Structure 1
Amino acid sequence: MVSRKLLFLLSYSIFISIFLINLIYSKSIYNGVYFVKIYFLFYASFVIIFLELFILLKADKIKYRFLIIDILFISLLTYLILTIHLNYLLIFLLLNFLVFYFSFDFIKINSKIIFFTILIVAVIESFIGLLQNYGFDFTALATFYKIVGTYTTPTLFVACITHALPVVLALYYLNKNENIKNIILFTIGLILLAVLLSGIRAAWLAAFVGIGLFFLLKDLNIIKQWLSKRHIKIFTVIASLLLIMFLTLMLYYIRPASANARLLIWRISLNMIKDHPITGIGLGNFAVQYMNYQAEFFKNPANIEHWANVAGNVNHAHNEFLQIFVETGILGLLLFLAILFFTYQDTFRLIRANRLNEEDRLIIIGSISAISSILVLSFFGFFLYFPYLTIFFIAYLAIIGSILKKYQKGIIEFHLTRSVHLTFLFIITALFLQIAPKMYKEYKARKVWQQALILALYKQPELAIKKYNQIYDTLKDNGEFLFMFGATYVSIDSCQKGIELLERSKLNYNNPKIYIALGNGYEKSGRFQKAIKNYQIAGYMMPHQLYPHYLLAKLYHKIKNDKKAISEAQIVINKPIKIDSPAARQMKEKMHVLLDKLKKDH
């Protein structure tokens, strides 16, 4: 029989390795940066859950003790699971978050080891990012952006490293060895430089807040000697508000177009909330619904005039609080805010009480400062949207919870027997056996998908379609796959098949390109009114783009509706070019030619 000690060691090792999943990526499968991380997270999660439940079977009874933040965390994840419709992978990942959170108590994870693991991840990511910034990109991921680490955008890159700064500071003060302290100082400089060069303004603010709060809480006793408790509260609130307002305004004026784009997203997101205020539109459905709301918004000409140039193809609210509200409603948002409120309240109360030993004090200060950094990032971007990044947030919550339990009583305590744990083991195993084969098939299918995409890009659509057909049964519910498959059929004039796939893709994927492809398909098959409708939707979704109006002008000319052809041609000619390109200039030139021809004919 495997010993309990060995099972603990295995669980501990895999638990630590989950943070390192952020460094994994693949160029051989479609969307390999995101999906490979999820793939490894899924299997590592199951192994941890299985090992921990197996450990529990070796004991007759296990005592559980919950704080209020534990109960709120369970409540939030339970609520999210109940709102999911037949997405087994998402359900399993949420269960993993639950086990991951309570593993800190169960396995007695050493917080310093977690901090060092986070330091390693942040340093490696920062080093990769800095190499990319200076032209050495061995990852081949920095295609559209200069610095991305093992991700695809600078936003995700800084999301992985910025929160580590207060953690590294905690390690600096925890170590007495001068050589180690000097190495840690160097890593702080490395991470700060990577954050600065990323150009992400929210990350600069997040780094400032994380570091600032760390030193404020670390030196709280010194500050208390100078100010009363009441004065400290007033000073902290006023100084924080003024500083955040100043920095936010400063960051806004550095890149106002980007800031205005977020304001547009938030405005349209509020329209989504108005339609689904209580339970939201469903977890993961923001990307499916947003562009429809944006198209509706731009049907108003006044909105086009003021907002068209900052509109984009959006799949995230660029504000986690707003995203939670949109997808889970007021119930989900209140549960999330309640977790934050009690975490901050209990943490600050414990720090002020001076009951913590030095190690616990620095660990809990580092954790709450890291959470604050994450929340600042989450207000301007996305963090919790990606499961492999969410792991960091949950780890900090769990570390704080485990320290709080040393110094305060739980509000609920109970025992669970071996039979209950055995039941959990059967349920988790059954769920794993349901999902694991699908995950493996999807992993292999995405390799073929990548091959098909390359064939389509290199003008070999017939070969691409053969590849797409090979994996259709596996990916037939993936909207992005159906879009690419359908668009490829339309490109070779197999319009009916392409239209069927494209119409189905809209059920769980939303992109203006779907409507352009549908318009092409309907136009080629002679269904001109449907083609016009789809081109118009694409135009409303992305009102700054010339292409939908260019296609409409050509189609109206084709069906001899000269009045509307002139109107659309003038839109193309008069619309400012957002991103200059030969294609954009060529469209404008062709519309000038068309307009001259139509005017001569009349």
Structure 2
Amino acid sequence: MARLRDYIGLLIFSILCVSALFMQSHSFTDSYIVPKWLITLFVFGGFVLYCTIAIWFTNSIKVNMFLVGIVLIAICFLQAVLGLLQYFTVCYSPSIYKITGSFDNPAGFSACLCIGLPFIAFLLLKDNKRYIHLIGWIMGIIIIVAIILSYSRAGIISLATISTIFLYQRLIHRRMLRFFLLAGLVALILGCYWMKKDSADGRLLIWQSCINMVKDSPWMGHGLGSFEAHYMDYQAEYFRIYGQQNRYAMLADNVKHPFNEYMGILLNFGIIGLLILCAFIFLLIYCYKLNSTIEKKIALYTLISIGIFSLFSYPFTYPFTWIITFLSVLIIIREPIEVFFTVSWRKNIACAFAIVCSMIGIYKLVERTQAELEWGRISKLTFSDSYNEALPAYEELEKVLVDDPYFLYNYAAVLLEKKQYNKSLEIALQCRKYWADYDLELVIGEIYQQLNKLKLAEKYYNSASMMCPSRFLPLYKLFYLYKTNGEKERSLAMAEAVISKPMKIKTTTIRMMKREMEREIQKMNMSIKLE
């Protein structure tokens, strides 16, 4: 009976990990991340209920780490194989990138592989059978090759750092080899910088603007969701101060992540939040040293891998990262947890609390899932111009998704298309509280222009231009705004700005804009001569 209970737990854990790695559905507006989160949270709620009931009635639950390791290695291996099949064009990749696996970009793909890789070391150290070692090495090499071919610099650096730590500990009496190992790691990091220098410099701009945000609220931070709510305003302010001829102007883009999880903590919770994280890390190290085992060592390697990846990317956007982080922390602090649950009243309170939270969480999750599915359905109706059917559904969904900036943006854009300008403005300004975004600025500018509030339209078009100085559309819209308002000199200046602006990415749309502005200048010059 006990063995059956443990196998059921392992099965639920396997479903949890598979959901977090492979779940995707075009029934949602976001086909990749949202389905993973919704299904993972639903399975996690069930898993917590199962474990809580098992602990309550049996006082403990045994975890076979060897089987858990095999599950993690197997699903990471399948993800790596999927990525390699995409790379060699055997499987279709829906992205502009050659390798994404079941994700929307290489960051999520490589993050999950880097997180799962240390468990192969656990497999090799825990079992001495030759065929197990052979299978482990083959899987490990395939996962490593997939990480490298994804060209994810965060993944490559994380992989190299873990490998360096692993080898460094085994070269105790070989100082020269240790030196070359560390030198090689430094060279690799520098090489990753030069591999995509423009992208790396773009991240330097992001971090510089983030530091300016931190300065405004260093101790307590700006609150949860502050990066989305305020970052692009700070980026725009940077270019107002240093000008659009700054070396970062061509690199600046519409940013949705700080590309550094620690910076995200600093922005949201300030120095106090970062100190709490540091204290928690020291607690983990203390628990690790109390009783160092192979399981704890692998858990520590996994957390280091996640920590290194977090310096350059956003692994916690994906549910698999949270699952493995949670698992690794539980492995390291296992003894204190067992001591805590030896006291009956503590165990009862903790179990009751977990059950109540799980039940409430699952109820809220079902409500959210229904809303997300409905949003996915009605968003497709707008493509077929079925606005009369879609708009009442949007209005109803607003009650559930009232604080979701992506939904509010979509709703505002639909209302704008339907020419309901006042309602569209109301929704767009509500969205602006949660989200500072280049595209949103253009939508608000367009609404104000349609409402004949030209000064406000100009303000938002200029804001969009400052957020992303390399973009042409704000200048193009400003040209027609000034032309409509009869401001010939200013419209001429905008037309010349569009023509003279260098193209970051050469597209047919931008070339057409430039030719259109050339024709407009010719017309304006002709009209001046006639006058």
TM-score normalized with structure 2 length = 0.90
1:563-602 mapped onto 2 (5 Å cutoff): 563-602=489-528
Tell me what 2:306 maps to. Answer: 374
Structure 1's 312 and 240: CA in aligned 2 closer, same or farther, altered over 3 A?
A: farther
Contact 1:163–1:210 (8 Å) recurs in 2: no
- Tell me the distance in 2 between the aligned counterparts of 1:536 and 1:331: 36
Tell me what 2:480 maps to. Answer: 554
Shift of 1:426: 4.5
Tell me what 2:237 maps to. Answer: 296
- Tell me the distance in 1 between the aligned counterparts of 2:98 and 2:85: 10
Contact 1:214–1:366 (8 Å) recurs in 2: no
Structure 1's 130 and 565: CA in aligned 2 closer, same or farther, altered over 3 A?
A: same
Number of residue-to-residue matches in the alignment: 527
1:61-460 mapped onto 2 (5 Å cutoff): 107-137=61-91, 142-217=94-169, 219=170, 223-224=171-172, 226=173, 242-302=183-243, 304-341=245-282, 343-344=284-285, 347=288, 360-361=293-294, 363-402=295-334, 405=335, 418-460=344-386
Aligned match for 1:19, one of 12, 17, 20 = 17
Shift of 1:464: 4.1
Letter in 1 for 2:227: F
- Say whether residues 1:527 and 2:479 are aligned partners: no
- Tell me the distance in 2 between the aligned counterparts of 1:425 and 1:300: 55
SS at match of 1:180: helix
Structure 1's 344 and 428: CA in aligned 2 closer, same or farther, altered over 3 A?
A: closer
1:376-422 CA deviation, whole Å, 9 max, x = no partner? Answer: 211111113434312212322332344xx4xxxx6996566555544
Letter in 2 for 1:206: S
Letter in 1 for 2:136: I
Contact 1:145–1:154 (8 Å) recurs in 2: yes
Contact 2:287–2:333 (8 Å) recurs in 1: no
Identity between Structure 1 and Structure 2 (%): 24
Contact 1:202–1:377 (8 Å) recurs in 2: yes
1:511-570 CA deviation, whole Å, 9 max, x = no partner? Answer: 211111111111112111111111111111111100011100111011011222122222
Tell me what 1:544 maps to. Answer: 470
- Tell me the distance in 1 between the aligned counterparts of 2:515 and 2:420: 31
Contact 2:438–2:467 (8 Å) recurs in 1: yes
- Tell me the distance in 2 between the aligned counterparts of 1:202 and 1:414: 38
Shift of 1:142: 2.4
- Tell me the distance in 2 between the aligned counterparts of 1:414 and 1:450: 45
- Tell me the distance in 2 between the aligned counterparts of 1:394 and 1:440: 23
User: Which has the larger displacement, 508-517 or 191-200?
Assistant: 508-517
User: Which has the larger displacement, 304-313 or 8-17?
Assistant: 8-17
Contact 1:53–1:422 (8 Å) recurs in 2: no
1:9-46 CA deviation, whole Å, 9 max, x = no partner? Answer: 54444234332222222122222422222222222332
Aligned match for 1:510, one of 436, 441, 462 = 436
SS at match of 1:204: helix
Structure 1's 239 and 398: CA in aligned 2 closer, same or farther, altered over 3 A?
A: farther
Contact 1:569–1:595 (8 Å) recurs in 2: yes
Shift of 1:451: 2.9
1:82-109 CA deviation, whole Å, 9 max, x = no partner? Answer: xxxxxxxxxxxxxxxxxxxxxxxx5232
Shift of 1:196: 1.6
Structure 2: state its 5+ residue gaps.
Answer: none
Contact 2:340–2:347 (8 Å) recurs in 1: no
Higher relative contact order, chain-length normalized (CA < 8 Å, sep 6+): 1
SS at match of 1:286: helix
1:276-317 CA deviation, whole Å, 9 max, x = no partner? Answer: 211212233322221121122221243652211111111211
1:557-601 CA deviation, whole Å, 9 max, x = no partner? Answer: 110112221222222111111111111111111111222323333
1:439-488 CA deviation, whole Å, 9 max, x = no partner? Answer: 22321222232233333345554454355345333323322111111111
Structure 1's 463 and 436: CA in aligned 2 closer, same or farther, altered over 3 A?
A: same
Tell me what 1:28 maps to. Answer: 27
- Tell me the distance in 1 between the aligned counterparts of 2:298 and 2:213: 36
1:496-519 CA deviation, whole Å, 9 max, x = no partner? Answer: 121111111112233211111111
Contact 2:382–2:390 (8 Å) recurs in 1: yes
- Say whether residues 1:481 and 2:479 are aligned partners: no
TM-score normalized with structure 1 length = 0.80
Letter in 2 for 1:211: S
- Tell me the distance in 1 between the aligned counterparts of 2:331 and 2:78: 23
User: Which has the larger displacement, 286-295 or 543-552?
Assistant: 286-295
Tell me what 1:69 maps to. Answer: none
SS at match of 1:281: coil
C-alpha RMSD over aligned residues: 2.9
Contact 1:283–1:328 (8 Å) recurs in 2: yes
Letter in 2 for 1:317: P
Contact 2:48–2:358 (8 Å) recurs in 1: no
Shift of 1:192: 1.6
Structure 1's 185 and 245: CA in aligned 2 closer, same or farther, altered over 3 A?
A: closer
Contact 1:318–1:380 (8 Å) recurs in 2: yes
SS at match of 1:150: coil
- Tell me the distance in 2 between the aligned counterparts of 1:412 and 1:13: 23
Contact 1:7–1:51 (8 Å) recurs in 2: no
Contact 1:573–1:588 (8 Å) recurs in 2: yes
- Tell me the distance in 1 between the aligned counterparts of 2:262 and 2:180: 23
- Tell me the distance in 1 between the aligned counterparts of 2:27 and 2:466: 35
- Tell me the distance in 2 between the aligned counterparts of 1:192 and 1:107: 34
